[in-house]
Amino acid sequence: MPEEESRLVRMATDEDMQKAFDAYALAVGKVAHEWNMLNERLGQLFTVVVGARTPDVSLAVWNSSENDRAKQKMLKDAIQSYHAKQWPWDIPVARTDLIWLADQALNLGEDRNNAVHAPCMLAIDHTGPLMIAHVVSRHARASKLRGKPVLPEFEWVRLWASELAMFAQRTETGLGWPDRYPWPDRPQKPERPPKPSPGQLSPMKG
């Protein structure tokens, strides 16, 4: 039957395999870029939150750590260090929104690390060659991607990082120029891609 025939695994050409790898490499690059942009926006927000008269000084403090998670926690700690009566901005939801933003970035770091650090390999199914997590390597990051569609998963990470970066930028301007820029609404987290139904994936050797 036609439906059954469409499930047949066909031999992939070198060109097909190269396209699958290129799509994977591009997806990883986009995740890395958006993650970097998010942390740049959080750094700018940090300078406003700490109230430094010289942004260069607060940015030097921000960049004193090479660990993104440490930086994000630094931002959260700075926000939480203000007592309620000390908070200098007359924006009721600002403090809770910024703590939420820092938490979202901290949580997303796990997915970003999976995308950037998990070893992946070429496999083939009825649609052709594709990249999957190299779970047989027993790498912890690869195990966390087991059964997940790699490219849609990476696109989700990229999109959420981009949304959080935009929110960070808008909160920065909302704090710095409250008369000109209204406080933004929290972005809606995109839906994660569904796991595919169980199927046959054949690792490609060679």
Task: Tell whether 134 is covered by a domain.
Answer: yes
**Residue reference for tokens 């940015």:** 59
Provide the domain limits for residue 177: 24-203
Task: Tell whether 17 is covered by a domain.
Answer: no
Task: Tell whether 141 is covered by a domain.
Answer: yes
At 128-153, the pLDDT tens digits run: 888 899 988 889 999 999 988 899 99
What tokens were used for 172? Answer: 């920065």
Task: Tell whether 2 is covered by a domain.
Answer: no
At 148-196, the pLDDT tens digits run: 889 999 999 999 999 999 999 999 999 999 999 999 999 999 999 887 6
Task: Tell whether 16 is covered by a domain.
Answer: no
Other beta carbons less than 10 A from residue 16's beta carbon: 16
Task: Tell whether 6 is covered by a domain.
Answer: no
Domain count across the chain:
1
Task: Tell whether 122 is covered by a domain.
Answer: yes
Q: Which pTM was predicted?
A: 0.87
Task: Tell whether 19 is covered by a domain.
Answer: no
Q: Which one is predicted more confidently, 105 or 87? A: 105
